[in-house]
Structure 1
Amino acid sequence: MPGSPSERVLRTHLPQREAAPGVSVRAADLSLRLDGGGNGLLDTTHFDTVRFPPPPWVAADMAAAIDNGAWAYSPYRGDPTVLEALSAPISAFLGSPVASSNLALTPGTQGALFTTLAALVNEGDLVLLADPDYLFCERILAFLGARVERVPLVFASAEPSLDLDVLEELILQKPKLLLFSHPNNPTGAVYSEAMIARVAELAVEGDFLVMVDELYSRLVYEDTPFHHLRVQPGMAERSITLLGPSKTESMSGFRIGVIVAPDAVIDTVEQCLAMTSLRAPAYSQHLLARWLVDDHAFLAERIIELENLKNLTIEKLSTVAGLVLTPQKATAYLFVDVTAFGATDVEIAAALQREAQVIVSPGYQFGARGTGHFRICYARDEAEWEAALDLMVTCLGAFAARAGITS
């Protein structure tokens, strides 16, 4: 039939996971109108960029860039002056030498994720993916025809960790790539140095690449140490790190992301950029000159504000019987466990839309181990969010009552 989706697109519906939401993930998304537009509801799938705007210098720098018409075009991997300016602050941030040849700029970190995977992954390649993890990872890999095996995120000890026993077993199958977010999206988990070091050892032993999405690596609470994968022995040659200002600095609308990778990977990524977007938005590229340099005071204040909102969210939701919270030390997300209610992710998300006027990210989106959860972003206007939380508590309390949970 004319206009029918390709087999590649149909694979992204993940029909093999129908048992979790009860339908394919695409059908579940459509039933909840999860199209990124909000549809007039309070949308907790992302930051409130009205309450949390970008740093004050962004508007002036963007206007200056637009005034310079010569900046409208750049090489596909990014403006050379921007790449050169970024190499020192990124080196300092990651604790590992980064040359301009190790960098490419993309249309957001979403563009970085798709472009890099498209550049490296062949049909049938084995890719290992954390479970749960960012919702579009598995869908992009399905589009590319990869064979995906999930590595569980476990909280059995004091520190969250990828299940290293499972990872050790899977490397016997010769994976092409391991992919995970750090801090973890959706849970906000920060991994220990010991875990990161062991992942690096296994990558060298198994001779595979590791792609780590560190988009939230600056949004960490309580002075929690953050350990970058690239600094580990042998990982400058086999790691791919995704960075960007879209969340911590609320610059999602400027569509700018950064890939840090070996020269050969960047060369291949550049070819994909040329075929998809040509380049990251050229004027936005120049906003990165002050990122990681002039925004430390801004970031410190933002972390305090978000931690206060985190505490408010935990305080309110903790009053719901049967609901389980496992707050972590990074991001602006809370991954809420509602398995005790005996309802599906779709049913709970639909009720929250209907009765609380709030959009949440249902757990099935993040992988099989996300089932029975939902993710909320608490980076919202305080008064609006407190009122919304009260409605959510009432809605979720009704589920607890129907399940016979009283304490």
Structure 2
Amino acid sequence: MALSDRLELVNPSEIRKLFDLAQGVEGLISLGIGEPDFDTPEHIKEYAKEALDKGMTHYSPNAGIMMLREAVAWKLKEQNGIEADPKSEIMITVGANQAFIMGFAAFLKEGEEVLIPSPMFVSYAPTVILAGGKPVEVPTYEENEFRLSVDDLEKYVSEKTRALIINSPNNPTGAVLTKKDLEEIADFAVEHDLIVLSDEVYEHFVYDGIRNHSIASLDGMFERTITLNGFSKTFAMTGWRLGFVAAPAWIIEKMTRFQMYNATCPVTFTQYAAAKALRDERSWKAVEEMRKEYDRRRNLVWKRLNEMGLPTVKPKGA
């Protein structure tokens, strides 16, 4: 099927339609889009200005500047327990969202299936379709706090299944997979020879003392995992459009080729700012301040919903 035909199968996001309609409406509070209402920390803005003053207004390498790839490698090792070579196993993207279609394009063949936990982020199924695959929804349930389980997956896997998306902390449910959950999912992926796309953009926003874990850190999983992350949620940089990917070298090479003929490269001066931000303690203090405020709001909304007779699972993250 031609790409132009696949586009006919993909509808515009209803959330984005509502978002556009709401622009300019005074006093409206939007609960429908993953947009931090915090501004980018001032020191990160200053880093961007510094980059501009240094003349960083030219093309960067297609996979991103080495300074940022090395900073991402450091972050992944220190925070996630993932060892990735910045030269061949990490790339910088124009937001984490772009990385999905590039990731699928690196390995997915026409008609192959991708298991996606549902409820799901709005972009997952369309990117599978645009890459030529078939999205297969795997329902998750309130009684399990919407956490994905192998029992759920076993009902939907087939000979055509090629990949699995996991999103923890989850958008929109707020579910956070435990290390045991991830170990069981990893065994399932190995058993069925699946590639796992792990969306970890909300990794720092977890509550009640729990910790988020990365499936690529488990034994034998890096070679079959595409870890997607970015700066939009972590540092409130949604408009900067900057993400990163860690994956086996053969996947990164193909994704870089896709980016080469698509966006060419992410914006250079924003990459510099992100690289500096990752190694600046002020950035992580800002993240913790945001996390505490999100936690306060989570507790308030959950309490009020239940008081109004709308029983709601208390989200563990996102």
Same fold by TM-score greater than 0.5: yes
Aligned partners of 2:127, 2:237: CA distance in 1, in Å?
23
- Higher relative contact order (CA closer than 8 Å, sequence separation 6+): 2
**Match of residue 149 from structure 1:** 136
Aligned partners of 2:214, 2:207: CA distance in 1, in Å?
16
Show the 5 A alignment for 1:125-274: 125-157=112-144, 160-274=146-260
Aligned partners of 1:118, 1:48: CA distance in 2, in Å?
27
CA contact (8 A) 1:174 1:206 kept: no
Q: Secondary structure, in 3 states, of the residue corresponding to 1:270?
A: helix
Query: Which TM-score applies when normalising by structure 1?
Result: 0.71
Show the 5 A alignment for 1:304-323: 304-321=292-309, 323=310
**Match of residue 111 from structure 2:** 124
> Cα distance, 1:151 vs. partner?
1.7
Aligned partners of 2:231, 2:21: CA distance in 1, in Å?
21
Q: Secondary structure, in 3 states, of the residue corresponding to 2:17?
A: coil
Q: Percent identity?
A: 28
C-alpha spacing 1:96/1:215, structure 2 compared with 1 (3 Å): same
Aligned partners of 2:194, 2:69: CA distance in 1, in Å?
27
Aligned partners of 1:170, 1:48: CA distance in 2, in Å?
32
CA contact (8 A) 1:138 1:148 kept: yes
Q: Which amino acid aligns with 1:189?
A: A
Q: Are residue 97 (structure 1) and residue 83 (structure 2) matched?
A: yes
Instruction: Point out where structure 2 has 5 or more consecutive residues left out of the alignment.
Output: none
CA contact (8 A) 1:200 1:233 kept: no
Choose the corresponding residue for 2:14, options 29, 40, 43.
Answer: 29
CA RMSD after TM alignment = 2.2
Instruction: Point out where structure 1 has 5 or more consecutive residues left out of the alignment.
Output: 14-25, 332-407
Q: Which amino acid aligns with 2:6?
A: R
> Cα distance, 1:112 vs. partner?
1.5
User: In the TM superposition, what whole-angstrom CA distance separates every residue of 1:348-405 from its partner, at most 9, and x where no partner exists?
Assistant: xxxxxxxxxxxxxxxxxxxxxxxxxxxxxxxxxxxxxxxxxxxxxxxxxxxxxxxxxx
Aligned partners of 1:59, 1:277: CA distance in 2, in Å?
23
CA contact (8 A) 2:104 2:128 kept: yes
Q: Which amino acid aligns with 1:116?
A: G
Question: Following superposition, which runs of at least 4 residues in structure 1 exceed 4 angstroms of deviation?
Answer: none
Aligned partners of 2:244, 2:293: CA distance in 1, in Å?
26
Choose the corresponding residue for 2:285, options 274, 297, 304.
Answer: 297
Aligned partners of 2:313, 2:35: CA distance in 1, in Å?
23
C-alpha spacing 1:150/1:48, structure 2 compared with 1 (3 Å): closer
CA contact (8 A) 2:306 2:312 kept: yes
Query: Which TM-score applies when normalising by structure 2?
Result: 0.90
CA contact (8 A) 2:168 2:200 kept: yes
**Match of residue 39 from structure 1:** 23
Aligned length: 310
**Match of residue 6 from structure 1:** 4
